[in-house]
Chain A
């Protein structure tokens, strides 16, 4: 590795500061004992953490968002793998169209997408159902999953499959023992990205959420539009701590590089 010059070091330090500072402020504010947004200096309190516990809404929304992100990421992965294999390997009619369609949620403004989803859900009367939301989120996160899966399918040495076949493997065994493990890093990376995107998604969810099914970002958003208590800070802080914990565990178990960049061992 090269030694970083002083300019690069300063740049990186500023960049990290720029990323971390807003998070640090949120965490700071979350410890205020006061009833409005304020950065505590002398008095620190866990009042707003207790408040999360008391208002069941946020916890309920957290579990909903978690379940939704999990289901949506998984569903879109299940659809993306065969699509990626077909797009990367076969030159069929309408291939470009199919690819563009799968990637289109990335190009359409979220507001437009949200309204379209709402209309669609009403039309087939699945408005306000969990499965309807899963379906919409799966479509929304599809571009991320497809891009990463496609990259790993395209980057894979197809001769490895021929090698497996010449060694006596059936097509099914070849997929299970060779193709699948070789594209797995891309699939996992896509799933993680999709999970984060879905968990974080606000604009589309605002349209398709219902009072009984309010995702965490939507609940936070609603809360901010009505009042501004530091509970938004404490909820955000909890999410930050949870994310940190997950990242640390993943780093310990697998190494983040492997998971997100797809480098193997």
Chain B
């Protein structure tokens, strides 16, 4: 049985259903991401766990204890908001102290725990600053420290990296993962960024229209997408018709293809774009099945030029049969 269990969870706003029949079990210490496009109900799910929204139906339990009955102030859940939601009138140390004060922890223990949290998020020397005097990345560290210092049962992160620039985001992702593993804290992250979800999570739950459409380890989902939506949302995918069943499609990842001389391979086409990405080349090839993408590892200069006719080849083992049309 999972540590955090969401069972047939639903949330309706009037007639609009934001989350529907949502089931998820999270083990103690596990890092799970909810991945999905904007508006698919990720934040709504998180807010029901935090207690800011009441579920229309379903159960939320932690170690078997019903969470919905507990007011949000008593749930002992740490949250990092997308906007960080720091208290602008309090210093870094006072921000982090807030949750400890609410728990009536003595000043002595408080300062020890604040010092430790500040140490963990590498903010030594910034204790007396106000949030305004910090960069985006530093503000995010404060938000993280404020959430973990209370030693919460669960850590919830709502698109915590979306306001950081690309380089900083990568650094913070690595750091977040390290902190999470060090503290062994059960974590649920919400994101629309597939790279973030893959880099951080033990398991990813891909959401679409308020439901989970596939759940599993990042590699597992990437290699075996169950639907067209998953195959295109998580990474890129070429969709080919399924010769066995007319209505179905087959997914072929661009990196599983090979460019071969014209006349060879399984498909022929004309190169319409050739883009250099550093680690690999991207070719867009116009074939009988539409535009296909092919990645070639950067082992040398471009293999084909725009307008050139080429063949595309692949191993049958890399083809994935998708369920349904969606």
Q: Which residues of A contact B (CB under 8 A)?
A: 157, 159-160, 162-170, 173, 177-178, 181-182, 184, 264-265
Task: Report chain A residues within 8 Å CB of B50.
Answer: 162, 166
Q: Does B23 make an interface contact (CB < 8 A)?
A: no
Given A181-B89, A264-B88, verify A163-B81 contact (CB < 8 Å): yes
A182 to B52 CA separation, bound complex (whole angstroms): 21
Binds A, one of B34-42, B95-103, B191-199: B95-103
Chain A, residue nearest B96 (CB): A167
Q: How far is the CB of A250 from chain B (nearest CB, A)?
A: 19
Query: Is B146 a contact partner of A264 (Cβ separation < 8 A)?
Result: no
Query: Is A182 a contact partner of B89 (Cβ separation < 8 A)?
Result: yes
Quick one: which of A162, A164, A170 contacts B98, CB cutoff 8 A? A164
Binds A, one of B70-78, B248-256, B287-295, B308-316: B70-78
Chain A, residue nearest B76 (CB): A168
Query: Is A169 a contact partner of B73 (Cβ separation < 8 A)?
Result: yes
List residues 55-105 of chain B with CB under 8 A from any CB of chain A. 72-79, 81-83, 85-89, 98-99, 102-103
Given A264-B132, A265-B130, A265-B132, verify A166-B79 contact (CB < 8 Å): yes
Query: Is B78 a contact partner of A166 (Cβ separation < 8 A)?
Result: yes
Task: Report chain B residues within 8 Å CB of A162.
Answer: 50, 52, 72, 79, 81, 85
Task: Report chain B residues within 8 Å CB of A177.
Answer: 87, 98
Query: Is B85 a contact partner of A159 (Cβ separation < 8 A)?
Result: yes
Task: Report chain B residues within 8 Å CB of A160.
Answer: 85-88
Query: Is B73 a contact partner of A170 (Cβ separation < 8 A)?
Result: yes
A163 to B47 CA separation, bound complex (whole angstroms): 11
A57 to B72 CA separation, bound complex (whole angstroms): 60
A139 to B111 CA separation, bound complex (whole angstroms): 48
Query: Is A168 a contact partner of B103 (Cβ separation < 8 A)?
Result: yes
Task: Report chain A residues within 8 Å CB of B89.
Answer: 181-182, 184, 264
Q: Does B150 make an interface contact (CB < 8 A)?
A: yes
Q: Which 10 A-B pairs have the closest CB atoms?
A: A168-B102, A167-B99, A159-B85, A163-B85, A181-B89, A160-B85, A159-B81, A166-B79, A165-B73, A165-B72
Task: Report chain A residues within 8 Å CB of B72.
Answer: 162, 165-166
A178 to B73 CA separation, bound complex (whole angstroms): 15
Task: Report chain A residues within 8 Å CB of B51.
Answer: 165-166
Q: How far is the CB of A222 from chain B (nearest CB, A)?
A: 46
Query: Is B77 a contact partner of A166 (Cβ separation < 8 A)?
Result: yes
Task: Report chain B residues within 8 Å CB of A164.
Answer: 87, 98
Quick one: which of B74, B83, B98 contacts A159, CB cutoff 8 A? B83
Known: A162-B50, A166-B51, A166-B72. 9 other contacts (CB 8 A): A159-B82, A162-B79, A164-B98, A165-B72, A167-B99, A169-B73, A177-B98, A178-B87, A184-B89
A157 to B85 CA separation, bound complex (whole angstroms): 7
A157 to B82 CA separation, bound complex (whole angstroms): 11
A235 to B272 CA separation, bound complex (whole angstroms): 84
Query: Is A167 a contact partner of B85 (Cβ separation < 8 A)?
Result: no
> Most chain-B CB neighbours within 10 Å: which of A160, A162, A166?
A166
A182 to B130 CA separation, bound complex (whole angstroms): 13
Chain B, residue nearest A161 (CB): B85
Q: How far is the CB of A45 from chain B (nearest CB, A)?
A: 51
Chain A, residue nearest B103 (CB): A168
Chain B, residue nearest A166 (CB): B79
Chain B, residue nearest A170 (CB): B73
Quick one: which of A159, A166, A181, A264 contacts B73, CB cutoff 8 A? A166
> Most chain-A CB neighbours within 10 Å: which of B74, B77, B79, B146?
B79
> Most chain-B CB neighbours within 10 Å: which of A160, A163, A164?
A163
